[in-house]
């Protein structure tokens, strides 16, 4: 209700998939041209991840489904099909918002049975995507987790994170907390094409510095590395150098996964923007979603000396954060498998 006065259109009709997740209403506003927010009331906030997913955390909280950052390679795209949206343009523009998330989370954290294990924020869609500028779910989530003594990790590409830096620094005084920024494309032209809704590489480098400036370490996810687009020594060297200069403390580097409908959306983009690479990608991903072992070994060997040269640590965060399951095991997170 808080910005109903600014809405130019309110549509209370909904797809059957939205009805399944507690649909309230759909809203469009001039500040977010081309986007529709579908407000829903969730029944639960803490998602427990099946042990079979083999991830380094067992609980996640996700306020949004869909993401206007619109990365062509986004792992989370197939989750939109569960809501009867498509995994392409709908994922980028039809954003589902759990407006009562903080209230439900507080209730769940107050249960005597809550185990206070690390909660990962940013494992499905970006918690600091553009919608967060309006709905502001994260301050309530962070405060509730910290007040309950629950450790947390935050992963984002979004510069909206700056708004909450003081709150995050305060929370880090109360509970173990890690922040990771995702930055894998240093070339501005490729960035505009492959991650069209995300803050620029320069803006994210500035965000890394801002995280350090409030006294926190800043891990950087240099992922996904795109074969033959961002995997050259020159690109990786320059990017890792910029990350180190910005204050990044450690990095995780891994290559592109192409699962289910993400694969079709990404390959359509590749055919349009880099048709010369289509046959190469078909060959690389001929056995499934993961790059072959020899490519992964090559990337590891290429990256290791660069990480050392720039004085960055490898994946040495103090506790579990949002890292994908090791290939080739698929990550399985309710209700559909995703990570980004």
User: Can you tell me whether residue 255 is helix, strand or coil?
Assistant: strand
Question: What's the rounded Cα separation, in Å, for the pair 185 and 204?
Answer: 11
Does 71 engage in binding with ligand SF4 (CB under 6 A)? yes
Pairing, β 36-40 against β 218-225: unpaired
User: Can you tell me whether residue 191 is helix, strand or coil?
Assistant: helix
- Nearest approach, Cβ of residue 70 and ligand SF4 (Å): 6
Radius of gyration of the chain (CA): 19
Does 126 engage in binding with ligand SF4 (CB under 6 A)? yes
Does 74 engage in binding with ligand SF4 (CB under 6 A)? yes
Give the residue carrying structure tokens 């967060």.
132
Q: CB of 8 within 8 A of CB of 30?
A: yes
**Choices 42-50, 65-73, 98-106, 167-175 (CB under 6 A): range interacting with ligand SF4:** 65-73
| Cβ-based nearer residue to ligand SF4, 194 or 306 | 194
| Cβ-based nearer residue to ligand SF4, 126 or 231 | 126
What DSSP assignment string belongs to 102-167?
Answer: HHHHHHHHTSTT-----EEESSSS-TTSTTHHHH--HHHHHHHHHHTT--EEEEES-GGGGGGHHH
Angle between helices 138-147 and 165-174 (to 10 degrees): 10
Q: CB of 70 within 8 A of CB of 199?
A: no
Pairing, β 119-121 against β 59-61: parallel
Q: CB of 26 within 8 A of CB of 38?
A: yes
Does 90 engage in binding with ligand SF4 (CB under 6 A)? no
- Nearest approach, Cβ of residue 112 and ligand SF4 (Å): 34
| Cβ-based nearer residue to ligand SF4, 5 or 34 | 34
Does 125 engage in binding with ligand SF4 (CB under 6 A)? yes
Q: CB of 219 within 8 A of CB of 249?
A: yes
Does 225 engage in binding with ligand SF4 (CB under 6 A)? no
User: Can you tell me whether residue 306 is helix, strand or coil?
Assistant: helix
- Nearest approach, Cβ of residue 72 and ligand SF4 (Å): 9
Question: What's the rounded Cα separation, in Å, for the pair 80 and 71?
Answer: 14
Question: Which of 70, 97, 137, 179 contacts ligand SF4 by CB under 6 A?
Answer: 70
Does 132 engage in binding with ligand SF4 (CB under 6 A)? no
State which of positions 149-188 bind ligand SF4 (CB under 6 A).
157
| Phi/psi at 32 (5° precision) | -125, 65
| Cβ-based nearer residue to ligand SF4, 26 or 125 | 125
- Nearest approach, Cβ of residue 69 and ligand SF4 (Å): 3
| Cβ-based nearer residue to ligand SF4, 254 or 340 | 340
Does 67 engage in binding with ligand SF4 (CB under 6 A)? yes
- Nearest approach, Cβ of residue 116 and ligand SF4 (Å): 26
Q: CB of 283 within 8 A of CB of 203?
A: no
**Choices 32-40, 64-72, 78-86, 308-316 (CB under 6 A): range interacting with ligand SF4:** 64-72
Question: Which of 69, 98, 130, 191 contacts ligand SF4 by CB under 6 A?
Answer: 69
Does 323 engage in binding with ligand SF4 (CB under 6 A)? no
- Nearest approach, Cβ of residue 128 and ligand SF4 (Å): 9
Question: What's the rounded Cα separation, in Å, for the pair 123 and 75?
Answer: 10
Does 45 engage in binding with ligand SF4 (CB under 6 A)? no
- Nearest approach, Cβ of residue 323 and ligand SF4 (Å): 14
Does 123 engage in binding with ligand SF4 (CB under 6 A)? no
Q: What residues make contact with ligand SF4 under the rule CB under 6 A? A: 67, 69-71, 74, 76, 125-126, 129, 157, 198, 340
């Amino acid at each position: 209700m808080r910005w109903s006065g600014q809405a130019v259109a309110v549509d209370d009709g909904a797809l059957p998939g939205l009805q399944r997740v507690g649909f309230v209403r759909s809203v469009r506003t001039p500040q977010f041209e081309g986007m529709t927010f579908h407000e829903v009331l969730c029944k639960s906030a803490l998602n427990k991840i099946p042990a079979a997913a083999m991830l380094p955390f067992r609980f996640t909280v996700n306020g949004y489904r869909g993401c206007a950052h619109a990365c062509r390679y986004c792992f989370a795209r197939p989750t939109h099909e569960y809501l009867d949206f498509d995994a392409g343009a709908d994922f980028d523009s039809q954003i589902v918002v759990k407006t009562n998330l903080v209230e439900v989370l507080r209730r769940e954290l107050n249960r005597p049975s809550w185990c206070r294990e690390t909660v990962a924020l940013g494992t499905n869609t970006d918690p600091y995507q553009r919608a967060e500028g309006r709905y502001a779910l994260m301050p309530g989530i962070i405060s509730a987790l910290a007040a309950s003594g629950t450790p947390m990790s935050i992963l984002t590409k979004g510069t909206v994170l700056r708004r909450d830096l003081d709150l995050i620094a305060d929370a880090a005084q109360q509970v173990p907390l890690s922040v990771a920024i995702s930055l894998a494309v240093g070339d501005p032209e490729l960035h505009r094409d492959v991650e069209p809704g995300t803050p620029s590489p320069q803006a994210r480098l500035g965000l890394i510095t801002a995280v350090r400036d409030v006294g926190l370490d800043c891990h950087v996810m240099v992922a996904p590395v795109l074969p033959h687009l961002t995997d050259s020594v020159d690109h990786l060297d320059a990017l890792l150098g910029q990350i180190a200069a910005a204050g990044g403390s450690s990095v995780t580097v891994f290559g592109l996964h192409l699962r289910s409908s993400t694969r079709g959306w990404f390959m359509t983009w590749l055919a349009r923007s880099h048709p010369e690479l289509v046959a190469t990608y078909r060959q690389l991903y001929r056995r499934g979603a993961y790059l072959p072992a020899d490519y992964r070994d090559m990337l590891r060997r290429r990256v290791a000396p660069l990480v050392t040269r720039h004085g960055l640590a490898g994946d040495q965060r103090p506790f579990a954060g949002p890292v994908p399951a090791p290939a080739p095991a698929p990550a399985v997170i309710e209700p559909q498998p995703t990570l980004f």
